Amino acid sequence: MKIIVYAIAKNESKFVSRWYNSMKEADEIYVLDTGSTDDTKEQLEKLGVKVTRKVIEPFRFDVARNLSLDLIPIDADLCVCTDLDEVFESGWRKLLEDNYHGETRVNYNYNWHISETGKPDVSFYLDKIHTRNDYKWTHPVHEVLENINHNETRTTISSIVLNHYPDREKSRANYLPLLELSVKEDPEDDRNMHYLGREYMYYGMYQEAIDTLIKHLSLKRATWHDERCASMRFIGRCYKNLNRVEEAVMWYEKAIKEAPYLRDSYVELAILYYEKEDYEKVYTYLKQALKIKTHEKTYINELFSWNETIYDLLSIACYYLNYLPESLYYIDEALKINPDNDRIKNNKVLIDKVLNKTS
């Protein structure tokens, strides 16, 4: 098999060596440099990567991805698209060769967020391994692979793992205008309507976010419960930030009904009640969240649903409700996940003191 890695890059010099070492199991590596002002191109070329430089104005991710794909010889069997802040776990090529049986596209494990302890806490399947001549990239941002020959077949190879180590300082300034352009180009695309509403929320443009997310929910193609649930949560979050608590609660409850198998809506509503010091409701919703044991492998995963947050807030709620043994149990569970949190450690000391006085 002829396996080619391809990528786009701009000012990624600090990631070059790490990225290359994880990608070098491929037969060849191609990179489209979209205008680096550092030595990204020179570093890549020293390692034997085939680099082409082209500045794209106005910039669009789909255009850049397609130009990088065009660099690959047409006789390649499989193309592997990654970014320079991503790292394959070693042995990925052999796993691909051993488990691939001619499908046009391959799903694999993607650890999008990795905690400081090295534990993946947001993971889902990514699908950027594909045949050479069956695909093109579409959408200005949050670009997706579109099968152009109507012949898509898929396989999932869960043992292939790609880890994401993003540059947290990198600007997202171009995302909002590109998302607005994407929605303008395809106003019926539910995915990018959802992303645009979310981006407005990130920018604190709460009314614009609410209007856009409601529009997402009205689209015919908006049928995926997980994403609909996220739009409802984000509407609730916007209303909360606008101090319109009753409307926030209404939308969080809608989100729970939309996808009762996801923890996120229960936890986010519990956080609202925690801020209002309504500890009975905090206790009720977080206990409901803990009944959900399955961590869905999609990009819609909130960190607060699977880290120490639930146990931390339950411990506080139990303390104020005078469920002291239960409070101690939950604080210990929180510390198992985040043992270095000084506030949680101090809470445990306080709970121990109160329990000793009452015993």
- Under 8 Å CB-to-CB from 41, ≥6 apart: which residues? 33, 51, 53
Query: Count of CB atoms within 10 A of residue 97's CB?
Result: 12
Per DSSP, the residues of 258-287 read H-TT-SHHHHHHHHHHHHTT-HHHHHHHHH
Taking a C-beta distance cutoff of 8 angstroms, is the pair 130, 105 a contact? yes
- Single out the residue of 336, 307, 334 nearest to residue 326, CA to CA: 334
296 lies in some domain: no
10 and 139 share a domain? yes
In a domain, 68, yes or no: yes
Q: Is there a single domain that holds both residue 15 and residue 134?
A: yes
In this structure, the chain runs to a length of 359
Give the separation between CA 275 and CA 37, rounded to whole angstroms. 46
* Domain identity same for 64 and 201: no
Within a domain: 275: yes
| Residue 270 CA neighbour count, 13 Å, CB half | 28
Question: Residue 136 falls within a domain, yes or no?
Answer: yes
Residue 121 located in a structural domain: yes
Yes or no: say if 77 and 87 are a contact pair by the CB < 8 Å rule.
Answer: no
Q: Are residues 61 and 141 in the same domain?
A: yes
List the CATH number of the domain containing 121.
3.90.550.10
For residue 269, is it within any domain?
Answer: yes
206 in the same domain as 70: no
Percent of residues in the chain assigned helix, strand, coil, to nearest 5: 50, 20, 35
Tell me the two tokens of residue 313. Answer: 């807030």
Structural domain contains residue 298: no
Per-residue pLDDT of the chain (359 residues; tens, 9 = 90+): 999 999 999 999 999 999 999 999 999 999 999 999 999 999 999 999 999 999 999 999 999 999 999 999 999 999 999 999 999 999 999 999 999 999 999 999 999 998 877 888 889 999 999 999 999 999 999 999 999 999 999 999 999 999 999 988 787 788 999 999 999 999 999 999 999 999 999 999 999 999 999 999 999 999 999 999 999 999 999 999 999 999 999 999 999 999 999 999 999 999 999 999 999 999 999 999 999 999 888 888 899 999 999 999 999 999 999 999 999 999 999 999 999 999 999 999 999 999 988 76
- Biggest alpha carbon–alpha carbon distance for the chain: 76
**C-alpha distance from residue 57 to each of 35, 54, 60, 61, 84 (Å):** 10, 10, 8, 11, 21
Residues 30 and 159 in one domain: yes
* Domain of residue 211, CATH code: 1.25.40.10
The number of helix segments (H) and strand segments (E) in the chain equals: 14, 10
Range of the domain at 321: 307-359
Instruction: Give the position of tokens 């060769």.
Output: 97
CB atoms within 10 A of CB 21: 13
- 73: tokens are 């010889």
Q: How far apart are CA 32 and CA 21, in angstroms?
A: 18
Whether residue 156 sits in one domain with residue 49: yes
Alpha helices in the chain (DSSP H): 16-23, 40-46, 61-70, 92-99, 175-185, 190-202, 206-218, 225-241, 245-258, 264-275, 279-290, 309-320, 324-337, 342-358
Of 143, 164, 185, the last residue of a domain is: 164
Q: What are the phi and psi torsion angles at 31 (to 5°)?
A: -135, 135
Q: Identify whether residues 317 and 273 lie together within a single domain.
A: no
Domain count, the chain: 3
With respect to residue 292, please indicate whether it lies within any of the assigned structural domains.
no
Query: Distance (Å, rounded) from C-alpha 51 to C-alpha 48?
Result: 9
Q: Is 270 in the same domain as 341?
A: no
User: pLDDT at position 359, please?
Assistant: 64
